[in-house]
Amino acid sequence: MSKIFVVIGTTGEYSDRSEWLVLAFRDEEKAKEHVINATRRANEIQVTRPSQYSVAKELNEFDPNMSMDYTGTSYSYSEVELKEITHDHTRRTKRQFR
């Protein structure tokens, strides 16, 4: 079984927490490296904001869809099984799909 490693971004806390998927890697070390780089860049952006409640205006090149609130942004990764599906090229009728 193959595994992939999905990088996840989060911001907020409790019921106001947001989570999003950033990228997936087949190599765990690359996922770890991406987490480190995205976190480092998010921290740089967080300290340049005029206040913790202002919107982050800079781009995180490691996560173009980054969201950030007063808690900042954090990254992690999760391992998940990758199921490779091979296509069966036999012809199927509509009835077979009902």
Residue 5 CB neighbour total at 10 angstroms: 21
Query: pTM of the predicted model, to two decimals?
Result: 0.80
Mean residue pLDDT of the chain comes to: 88
Spatial neighbors of 49 by CB under 8 A, at least 6 apart, are 55, 56
Residue 9 has pLDDT above 60, yes or no: yes
Residue 25 pLDDT? 98
Tens of pLDDT along 57-88?
778 999 999 999 889 999 999 999 999 888 76
- Residue 96 tokens read as 């077979």
Residue 86 pLDDT? 80
Strand, helix or coil at 79?
strand
What gap in Å lies between CA 62 and CA 41, rounded to an integer? 8
Residue 78 pLDDT? 98
